[in-house]
Structure 1
Amino acid sequence: MRLLIVDDGHYVVEYMKHLLDWKTYGIDQIETTTNSLEARDMLNQRHIDILITDIRMPEVSGIDLLQHIHQHSLPTKVIILSGYSEFEYAQQGIRLGALDYLLKPVDKDDVEKAMSKAIKNIIKTRPVQPVTWENFDGLAYLLSLLGANETLKKEYEAYTEFLEDYRLCCFKMDGFTQEHEDDIKRAVGDKLDRLVWTAGTRLIAFVPEEIAGKLQTTLEHSVVSSPFSLTDRNMTRHIFYGFFLREDVHADDFMSTIPPFSSCNDWESARNIIKTYDRIHLRKQKIIFLVETISYVYLADKNRNASETADWIFNRIQDPDELWSTLFDRVNQIRNNKQMSIQTIVDKVQTYIEDHLSHALSLDELGKVAHLHPVYLSKLFKQETGENVSNYISRKRLEKASRLLQDSELRVNDIAQMVGYRKNQYFIQLFKVEYGVTPYQYRRNMIHQ
């Protein structure tokens, strides 16, 4: 689903964009704009499932956008942002069909409730989506059945509903030829042929029950499983893990093993994956965890390789610790790529702070430097450095002050001004807390060393 966030305040947009893990609501695309005219065009040109909009904006207001949606019978669900003084506007918005309104400053819990309401409304009113097979990714579909990623599950739900009348069996064959692969794909048909994979020397497939027995009889070195329905997720998992990986798994095993990273953003997910594996001891739980990790890598890695992923799932996972060393490197690579962009932002803010220590240096000012909402920047900075922005600023100011006390003959009062302290006594107090002596004593001690 696609979400559009509109507010003429850049920092409000950034704050909203990073406030929730939108993927847990099935939002896989987020559009933002501070230009309400552009927002109206975006509503016309793209399918927007949910619009979160400020109610009062220049040129085109949130009410105008609501009226536009109503007049053009667009399916977009609307959540309004408003201030206390705009309550009458918010009521007007509700009358025009807005699902909910949120008072600024926006509370995270309120946004979560409003989004849950919007998603339920979409599910209730959405027409049955036609199933398109052109871009159907069979491997991603398999991972949507096996893993806990809600975004992937929602993306492929329509295919499961389409396939609900099929009773399928897992199929595997060692030592296959290209002719064998072609025969299997012809036998299963032009939709289920996406559920045929090659993994090293093995041919893997989900095949209809009615042809499974014949395949096993006619193809040497082939084996089929008991039949199951894809709509029964627990049974699908149970048969998959037993047939391919020789593990007896049940629903409780997934509840105790599937990690919390499926509801986190990419960078946090990578951190959680890396630190979780070493805590798992049973082979069965390691395999379940690695399937979830493979799903994460398959989604997060833009350069993913389907053949390599199939080899992980059907072959290399037999030795979980050996595969983990490979996945560890891949997850670390994804994490580092993500972290590099975050580190660039933090480096930029740190450089700005060190070059402007004489400024007041508010979070608002630093937010403009980073092009992020101040609250989000503060959280990001602490997450990356382990230090609050205010502590970092204070430490850098006092470090510069100590150098000036050593290397110059400037008066203490002038040094305090140069590092951003307007009140001399406050500077002296902070300096003494940090260095154990007053600036005067510090300078005298440095001279006599």
Structure 2
Amino acid sequence: MRVLIVDDGHYVVEYLKHLLDWKSFGIHQVETSTNSIEAWGLLDGNGIDLLITDIRMPEVSGIDLLEHIDRSKLKTKVIFLSGYSQFDYAQKAIRLGLLDYLLKPVDKDDMEKAVRHATESVREHERTRPLEWERFDGLRFLLSIVAESRSMAREDEPALRLLGEEPFCFFRLPEPSDMEEASVRDRLGKFDRFAWRTESALSGAMPHAAAEALAGRIGSLAFSEPFSFAHPHQVRHRFYSFFLQENVSFAEVERISKELPSIGEKEPQGKLWSKRYDQLDGAKQQKIYVMELIASLHAGSGPDRTADAAEWIFDLLPDPQLAFQAIVRDRSETEKSSRHCNANVVRMVRDYVDEHLACGLSLEELGEHVHLHPVYLSKLYKQETGQNLSAYIALRRLEKASRLLKESSLHVADISRMVGYKKPQYFIKLFKDEYGITPHQYRRLQLG
């Protein structure tokens, strides 16, 4: 079970992280963040079971995170923390599925009760959650077991419970005819989520019973020894042996996966990957490295890239140099396209901001306008401009306010509303922080 603790105060996060014996609650992974935008992304990608978060934070609040969980139909349970008795917030949060609400400073006994309640709720949900085959990504599931650098997505955990002990085997059918492929897929039924057609073959995994039924019927159809998904080392051993003709150990995979470079903001990813690839000793290490790289890339992409990942694994990876070159070329093209697209996104965001300064201009609203996830948009904007998006919005609002103060006789309260600040006192404070004087003093100074 995974927990994410979010608070804009570093000391609060560290205190909460060490407050409880998390393992006694069945929680084996505790992640922390002082950046609520980063937390949004962690919720999407890491299968967080329990979120413990401050209700009030800059840019993205606890309520924003809870609304995102509700909209995205994530199964994450939420405990709110606050230094205020803001029960109006709590009432809204309860309607959105809030599990508990604790006041700061947090009492250990209260936290234990809240976490115990949350973990029991998570377990009850997991016991009853069905496997949604229509949304199931078989390659992602397989890579989460074979690749050490990837953890299983939450939506795939029911598959592990359902299929864990059932005997499977890997298969490969070179250059199948349409009739041969149809015969295999018909025998697979719903398990065709584990079959991938590439240019040279139909490859994948199937229940051992289906393999026995097909054995001998299609002459070129080959099978691995049986395995169970519940035993990752066995799955990995069978996979590398059958598809890549390598006998790999857990220690080899673990060591290479730890050295996989993180995504750099300034240096092109292809260069980062190549530096490490060139240091590897022999084809086996290269295959492991490329396999871990593919798993990492596929976890961050949508199902529309499954065909590319399958081609890299089943057609090219037996020659790791070919597979690696294909991945680097793909990433280079993606980065070129991305740079062009990113410049357009920044322009569209700035145009929208300038036209809607009187509105709320939340990250979510801007994300919808440019069809990007709000967290990704925030990171993209900072990467492209070196400036936080919230800082740009504040600057443009104050610039417009300064023009209105010079060019009109509008009251300060009216100008405040026209640039998106409902509370004039807050607007006055921000204006003074930026210009060193109040709006009234600025106007008198400009009018001379």
Aligned letter for 1:208?
Answer: P
> What pairs up with 1:204-215 in 2 under 5 angstroms?
204-215=203-214
The secondary structure found in structure 2 opposite 1:228 is coil
Q: 5+ residue gaps in structure 1?
A: 8-12, 100-116, 348-371, 386-419, 423-449
Is 1:26 matched up with 2:25? no
- Return the alpha-carbon distance in structure 1 between the equivalents of residues 309 and 245 of structure 2: 19
- Return the alpha-carbon distance in structure 2 between the equivalents of residues 63 and 93 of structure 1: 20
Distance 1:16 1:132, change over 3 A: same
- Return the alpha-carbon distance in structure 2 between the equivalents of residues 324 and 343 of structure 1: 29
Is 1:294 matched up with 2:314? no
Alpha-carbon RMSD across the aligned residues, in angstroms, is 5.4
Q: What is the aligned partner in structure 1 of residue 140 from structure 2? A: 140
Is 1:171 matched up with 2:171? yes
- Return the alpha-carbon distance in structure 1 between the equivalents of residues 260 and 71 of structure 2: 35
> What pairs up with 1:43-442 in 2 under 5 angstroms?
46-47=73-74, 49-51=76-78, 53=80, 55=82, 61=88, 63-64=90-91, 74=97, 76-77=98-99, 86-87=104-105, 90-91=106-107, 94=110, 98-99=114-115, 123-128=122-127, 129-188=129-188, 190-259=189-258, 270=269, 273-302=273-302, 304-333=304-333
Larger deviation, residues 168-177 vs 294-303: 294-303
Aligned residues of 1:149 and 1:263 also touching (Cα < 8 A) = no
Distance 1:122 1:24, change over 3 A: farther
Deviation at 1:286, TM superposition (A): 1.0
- Between the two proteins, the alignment pairs up a number of residues equal to 332
Aligned residues of 1:171 and 1:225 also touching (Cα < 8 A) = yes
- Return the alpha-carbon distance in structure 1 between the equivalents of residues 219 and 164 of structure 2: 30
- Return the alpha-carbon distance in structure 1 between the equivalents of residues 155 and 311 of structure 2: 24
Q: 5+ residue gaps in structure 2?
A: 9-32, 54-58, 348-373, 388-433, 437-448
Aligned residues of 1:197 and 1:205 also touching (Cα < 8 A) = yes
Deviation at 1:320, TM superposition (A): 1.0
Aligned letter for 2:293?
Answer: T
Aligned residues of 2:312 and 2:326 also touching (Cα < 8 A) = no
Distance 1:283 1:92, change over 3 A: closer
- Return the alpha-carbon distance in structure 2 between the equivalents of residues 152 and 267 of structure 1: 29
- Return the alpha-carbon distance in structure 2 between the equivalents of residues 303 and 251 of structure 1: 28
Aligned letter for 1:292?
Answer: E
Deviation at 1:158, TM superposition (A): 1.6
Larger deviation, residues 146-155 vs 201-210: 146-155
1:358-379 Cα distance to aligned partner (Å, 9 max, x none): xxxxxxxxxxxxxx9xxx99xx
Q: What is the aligned partner in structure 1 of residue 24 from structure 2? A: none
Distance 1:56 1:285, change over 3 A: same
The secondary structure found in structure 1 opposite 2:134 is coil
Deviation at 1:178, TM superposition (A): 1.0
Deviation at 1:310, TM superposition (A): 1.6
Aligned residues of 2:147 and 2:292 also touching (Cα < 8 A) = yes
Distance 1:127 1:142, change over 3 A: closer
Distance 1:77 1:268, change over 3 A: farther
The secondary structure found in structure 2 opposite 1:191 is helix
Aligned residues of 2:137 and 2:303 also touching (Cα < 8 A) = no
- Return the alpha-carbon distance in structure 1 between the equivalents of residues 324 and 133 of structure 2: 33
Aligned letter for 1:26?
Answer: G
Aligned residues of 1:262 and 1:269 also touching (Cα < 8 A) = no
Deviation at 1:246, TM superposition (A): 0.7
Aligned residues of 1:27 and 1:151 also touching (Cα < 8 A) = no
Aligned residues of 2:145 and 2:232 also touching (Cα < 8 A) = yes
Aligned letter for 1:163?
Answer: L
Distance 1:203 1:63, change over 3 A: closer
1:170-208 Cα distance to aligned partner (Å, 9 max, x none): 2112231111111111223x2212212222131223233
Aligned residues of 1:167 and 1:209 also touching (Cα < 8 A) = yes
- Return the alpha-carbon distance in structure 1 between the equivalents of residues 71 and 140 of structure 2: 31
Distance 1:40 1:283, change over 3 A: closer
The secondary structure found in structure 2 opposite 1:279 is coil
The secondary structure found in structure 2 opposite 1:229 is coil
Distance 1:219 1:267, change over 3 A: farther
Distance 1:180 1:124, change over 3 A: same
- Return the alpha-carbon distance in structure 1 between the equivalents of residues 125 and 266 of structure 2: 32
Aligned residues of 2:139 and 2:194 also touching (Cα < 8 A) = yes
Aligned residues of 1:2 and 1:50 also touching (Cα < 8 A) = no
The secondary structure found in structure 1 opposite 2:35 is helix
- Return the alpha-carbon distance in structure 1 between the equivalents of residues 65 and 247 of structure 2: 54
Distance 1:56 1:267, change over 3 A: farther
Q: What is the aligned partner in structure 2 of residue 358 from structure 1? A: none
1:151-186 Cα distance to aligned partner (Å, 9 max, x none): 545442221221124211221122311111111112
Q: What is the aligned partner in structure 1 of residue 396 from structure 2? A: none
1:213-247 Cα distance to aligned partner (Å, 9 max, x none): 45331212222111111111111111111111111
Aligned letter for 1:132?
Answer: E
Q: What is the aligned partner in structure 1 of residue 418 from structure 2? A: none
For normalisation by structure 2, the TM-score amounts to 0.57
- Return the alpha-carbon distance in structure 2 between the equivalents of residues 220 and 37 of structure 1: 57
